[in-house]
Each structure stands twice: as structure tokens, then as C-alpha cells.
Amino acid sequence: MALSGFASCKGVVWVNTHLIKPLVGESYPVVDYGRGIYLFGKDGKKYIDGSSGAVTANIGHGVKEIYEAMCRQAEKVSFVYRSHFTSEPAEELAEKLAQSAPGDLNAVFFVNSGSEATETALKVAIQYFQEQGQPEKIQILSRRTSYHGITLGSLSMSGHPLRRQRFEPLLEDFPAVAPPYCYQCPFKLSYPSCKMKCADDLEEAILSIGSENIAAFIAEPVIGASGGAITPPDEYYPRVKAICEKYNILFIADEVMTGMGRTGKMFAMDHWDVVPDIIATGKGMSAGYTPMAAAIVSDRIMKVIENGTKVIMSGHTFSANPFSAAVCLAVMDYMDKNNVVQNAQKQGIYLIEKLKKLQEEFEVIGDVRGKGLLCGIELVRDRTAREPFSLNEKITETFISICFENGLIVYPAVAGVTGFSGDAVIIAPPLTITSEEIDELAGILSSSLKQLTGKLEQEGKL
């Protein structure tokens, strides 16, 4: 046996995918190619990519314009080191992102993954206060149900016990507050009579820790991997931003999943007219055609850094490489020309309608939620009591396996997260999906829910 990169002729060569358990089944099917919302296995099986992979393949698979842009840039130059050169694609992409981002978010720092983007945001926030003589402002507040990435800094900010547990001793002990999770409210209250106690919880945490110790609050606009498209009431983010401003704490919007049109606006914060201090973005930025992500930083922060150290104290070898920048530019160009964000908004409404119809039919669907084409369903044992299944029943796993068998890929919102005891799946197809394709997706969901319900009844679990 050999690890990937250490291939030998003596045994099995392990590639990355063999080193983690497949989401579904015992072994991985081998992918052959993708076209639009569809993926095709080597065995000829056709799948609807109902979650755009990990909510990434925003413009669908096999888009010719992207391949052509790749070839054009590869012919010129693929890599230069960011301390030696800048490049036209990197400059143009930064310009375009700054124009798309709200308010004074104009400085774009390129990285290669969402985890690096949130970790960069963390570092920028800390550096911002250091430059102003406040080195003790180093705590980052997050929410108990959250996912901000897999590296040690980003994982320290994540309320995701499954991914944290082995590395707990190495993680920073950052404080976390209640998520705005109305369906299973952490305070057992209901909206609007709750008066947004979850937002108050942020203020209470700040007061108890002391704002002089806190650099930033980080939040996913719509909670993805750890919650299944949990979408707060409209007044939540304006309140949160006002609280952060009141206590001189930066607000980081982790738009790695929600950004680049996923929720029907370029950035999800645009729904609430909230301008964060830093946006972390990734996934849809390259739509999966190359690894690329970014931290977009406000002029206010950059002014302080420019008057101090002058540069953001971070960076990676591949940051801002011209090849990836050209690919992202081609993706953004494609999105503009094909009104992809508008389509996400329109088809998101249609998808939610379809999911609500399924909810009427299937008691096992407790909640339908989401924004644009980032939707989620939460599965419960008893809808009236909102009683979740227990974790060891592995309902999410069973359901995504049934869907996969039936040719539909959906994304698990991992149960077992603090404050989130339920089972949920994310349905987030490419933003280019048509109504007819949504009908097809909903048809497979319906037959998969029927199968799940039948199985659970048979096993006496319903």
C-alpha cells in the first residue's frame, strides 16, 4: 500500500478519496464526465448533482467557455509568484469582486480554499486591532452551529463537534453564541415573540467576555454544512451588525457557501443590506473549475493596515495565480452573460414551492427552509412535536444513500452539532438549473422520501 504521491509498483495506490469514508456506500463510483446539472459515472449511471457537489459547481459541469478560458490562460502563463508579479487576470478579478461586493469592501486577498479565506479574515481582524495598539483583541466569536473550515484557525471558529473532536487540544478556545435556529430554537421560544433572543445572546457574550478582548464575530449568512440552510429572520443581521459596531468588533460574513449568487443575490448579506467588515468567499467563485477563494476586506480596515505594517500578514504560494484568476473571471463572465444570479432567485422560489409540496405529502419533513438555491429540509420523527430522530439512527446517511442510488446527489447537514440535534439535507443544484430540471429533481426526491418512509415504518422508527 502506498499513499498518494508515494505511488509504488508494490501495492495499492491510495488517492485522496480512498483516505476518507465515502459519503454513500462502501466504495466510490468513478466519475466520467459532467454536463450541466448532470454527472455521469464510468458505469454509465446518470446523477443529478442536486447539491453542486459541496455547494460549489454553481454554473454546472462541462461549460465550454470555461475550458476555453483555461486553455487561453495556460498558453500564456499559469503561475507566477505573488511577490514577483501581479497579472491582468488577478487584477481584473479583484476589480470585479470589489465591484460586486457591498459597501467599501474593495481589497481582495486571494487564497485557495474557504478555510484559508476564513482563516485570513481571522488574521486580518487581529492585525487590524494590533495596528491600533489593541493586541489583546484576539478572541473570535462564532455560533454554536457553524462551519468555517478545516484548518486549525478556521476549525477553532466552528461549532462542528464531529470535525473538531480529535483536534480539540490544539484548537483555540473561542467563545460561541446561540444560532438563529427558529425551527429548534435554543431558547425554546418562537419568532417574533422571542424578540430575537439569539441576537441578544451575542451582546450578552460580548459583555461577559469584554469587548476589549474580542476582534470579530463570524457568521454564515445561511448556515450550511452544520445546519441545513438555516435562515434567520430578516431583522437578525441588521441587529447583529449594530451590536458589533456598538462594541467595536468586526463582523466577518462567511460567504464561502452563500456568496457568488447562491442565494439569489451576489452576496447573501445583500438581502439584508448589511455591509460586513470582511467577506470570506470561495466555492462558487470558481464554480469548482479550480481551487480559488478570497477574503474581501473593507477600505476602513485597509487604511489602518496601510498606515501600519502596510501588508496583510498572510499569503500562500498559489495566492492570485493567473490561471485560477482567469478561470474565476470566465465564471463571473458566464454568470453575467447568462443572468445566473437572477435565475438562482427565480428557480429558488420554485424549488422551495416544490419542497413545500413534498412536505405536505411526507410527514417526515419537519421543516423546509433556505434562500435562493440554498435550500434545506429537516427530517423529524414527529412533526407536531418537532421531535428529531436520534443520532445513532443515521437518518441523514440513510436518506442520502437512497437518493444517490436513485440518481440524485444531496448534501448532508451533519447531525450531532452542538445545538443542532436534527437530520437535514441541503438541496443546492447548479444556479443554471431550469424549472423542468427542478421537476425531475423533485420527482427523485419524492420517490426517495417514499422509500425512506417505507423503510422507517417497517423498522418501527416512525
SS3 for 254?
Answer: strand
User: Residue from 89, 282, 388, 429 that binds ligand PMP (CB under 6 A)?
Assistant: 282
Q: Residue 139 or residue 258: which is nearer to ligand PMP going by CB?
A: 258
**How many residues belong to the chain?**
462
Q: Residue 237 or residue 389: which is nearer to ligand PMP going by CB?
A: 237
Query: Closest Cα partner for 185 from 174, 165, 166, 199?
Result: 199
Q: Which amino acid is at 331?
A: V
Taking the C-alpha atoms of residue 300 and residue 104, their distance in angstroms, rounded to an integer, is: 8
Q: Residue 316 or residue 461: which is nearer to ligand PMP going by CB?
A: 316
Q: Residue 22 or residue 210: which is nearer to ligand PMP going by CB?
A: 22
Residue with nearest beta carbon to ligand PMP: 114
Q: Could you tell me where the DSSP H helices lie in 23-113? A: 52-55, 64-76, 88-100
SS3 for 37?
Answer: coil
User: Residue from 58, 87, 100, 118 that binds ligand PMP (CB under 6 A)?
Assistant: 118
Shortest Å distance, C-beta 361 to ligand PMP = 30
User: Residue from 149, 186, 276, 422 that binds ligand PMP (CB under 6 A)?
Assistant: 149
Query: Closest Cα partner for 73 from 273, 287, 321, 276?
Result: 321
Total of residues contacting ligand PMP (CB under 6 A): 16
290 Cβ contact list (under 8 Å, min separation 6): 70, 323, 324, 327, 328
Helix and strand totals (H; E) in the chain:
13, 14
Place of cell 496583510: 312
Q: To 5 degrees, how large is the angle CA 136–CA 141–CA 146? A: 150
SS3 for 462?
Answer: coil
Query: Closest Cα partner for 318 from 291, 295, 297, 296?
Result: 291
Binding residues among 87-116 for ligand PMP as defined by CB under 6 A: 113-115
In contact, 310 and 274? CB cutoff 8 Å: no
Q: Residue 163 or residue 455: which is nearer to ligand PMP going by CB?
A: 163
Q: Residue 224 or residue 372: which is nearer to ligand PMP going by CB?
A: 224
The verdict on 231 binding ligand PMP (CB under 6 A) reads no
Shortest Å distance, C-beta 116 to ligand PMP = 7
Stretch that binds ligand PMP, among 36-44, 87-95, 193-201, 220-228 (CB under 6 A): 220-228
Q: Residue 148 or residue 369: which is nearer to ligand PMP going by CB?
A: 148
β-strand pairing of 31-35 with 278-281: unpaired
Stretch that binds ligand PMP, among 146-154, 182-190, 244-252, 313-321 (CB under 6 A): 146-154
Burial class, 188, CB count within 10 angstroms (exposed 0-12 / middle 13-18 / buried 19+) = exposed
Taking the C-alpha atoms of residue 98 and residue 180, their distance in angstroms, rounded to an integer, is: 29
The verdict on 220 binding ligand PMP (CB under 6 A) reads yes
Beta strands in 138-203 (DSSP E): 139-143, 176-177
Binding residues among 329-368 for ligand PMP as defined by CB under 6 A: none
Stretch that binds ligand PMP, among 253-261, 267-275, 391-399, 452-460 (CB under 6 A): 253-261
The verdict on 225 binding ligand PMP (CB under 6 A) reads yes
Give, as one character, the DSSP assignment of residue 272: G
Binding characters for ligand PMP, 256-275, by CB under 6 A (x = yes):
xx------------------
Taking the C-alpha atoms of residue 358 and residue 394, their distance in angstroms, rounded to an integer, is: 21
Shortest Å distance, C-beta 149 to ligand PMP = 4
Adjacent-strand bridge partners of 46? 40
Shortest Å distance, C-beta 117 to ligand PMP = 7
Shortest Å distance, C-beta 269 to ligand PMP = 13
User: Residue from 137, 143, 148, 271 that binds ligand PMP (CB under 6 A)?
Assistant: 148
User: Residue from 60, 179, 224, 276 that binds ligand PMP (CB under 6 A)?
Assistant: 224
User: Residue from 54, 98, 194, 209 that binds ligand PMP (CB under 6 A)?
Assistant: 54
Taking the C-alpha atoms of residue 365 and residue 449, their distance in angstroms, rounded to an integer, is: 9
Shortest Å distance, C-beta 290 to ligand PMP = 12
Binding residues among 287-316 for ligand PMP as defined by CB under 6 A: none
| Binding footprint of ligand PMP on the chain (CB under 6 A) | 54, 113-115, 118, 147-150, 220, 224-225, 254, 256-257, 282
